[in-house]
């Protein structure tokens, strides 16, 4: 298969067959695998645009129930605090909502990978390991 991301993956323009069945991956996607079960996950590293616009959609599509409950809990807690303190002041509520949406956009992918690492996943290849290390998502375990 022709690599649609040719020229974006590495300096040597090597074949980027890091995905399932050797399919090419975009340069900002990492592959992690659980060595015990053989489960593989592929996800973007960096800003989550869908989490910015619709914070609950990425965890639902990824079956990431832990982080979905975290997002819903934080949003509900902030809404309760806002209702008790500022009431119906739409400007303040809107700014706080925008701040929460930006927060989820910036940290959701990191939350997803960190939860996978806690469940025993590790980077599947050297390219993913380098990408996750450079983004400060992965810290190699000390022996």
Number of compact structural domains in the chain: 1
Q: What is the pTM of this model?
A: 0.82
Residues 6+ apart with CB under 8 A from 30: 42, 43, 44, 45, 113, 123, 127, 128, 131, 132, 137
| Residue 24 forms part of a structural domain | no
63 falls within a domain: yes
- Given a cut of 60, whether residue 82 has pLDDT beyond it is yes
- Model confidence over 14-47: pLDDT tens digits? 445 556 677 788 889 999 999 999 899 999 999 9
- Rounded mean pLDDT of 79-83? 92
**130 assigned to some structural domain:** no
Q: How confident is the model at residue 24, as a pLDDT?
A: 81
- 61 part of a folded domain: yes
Query: Is position 35 within any domain?
Result: no
Q: Is 94 exposed, middle or buried (0-12, 13-18, 19+ CB in 10 A)?
A: exposed
Residue at 140 is within a domain: no
Number of H helices and E strands in the chain, helices first, is: 5, 3
Does residue 79 form part of some domain? Answer: yes
Q: Is residue 72 predicted with pLDDT exceeding 80?
A: yes
Would residue 102 count as lying in a domain?
A: yes
pLDDT exceeds cutoff 50 at 13: no
């Amino acid at each position: 298969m022709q690599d649609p991301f040719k020229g974006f993956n590495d300096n040597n323009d090597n074949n980027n067959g890091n995905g399932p069945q050797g399919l090419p991956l975009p340069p900002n996607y990492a592959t992690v695998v659980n060595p015990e079960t053989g489960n593989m996950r592929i996800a973007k590293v960096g800003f989550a645009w869908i989490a910015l616009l619709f914070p609950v959609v990425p965890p639902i599509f990824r079956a990431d129930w832990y982080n979905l409950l975290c997002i819903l809990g934080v949003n509900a807690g902030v809404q309760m605090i806002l209702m008790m303190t500022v009431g119906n002041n739409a400007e303040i509520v809107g700014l706080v909502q925008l701040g929460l949406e930006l927060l989820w956009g910036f940290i959701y992918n990191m939350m997803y990978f960190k939860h996978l690492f806690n469940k025993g996943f590790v980077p599947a290849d050297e390219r993913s390991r380098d990408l996750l290390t450079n983004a400060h998502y992965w810290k190699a375990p000390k022996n």
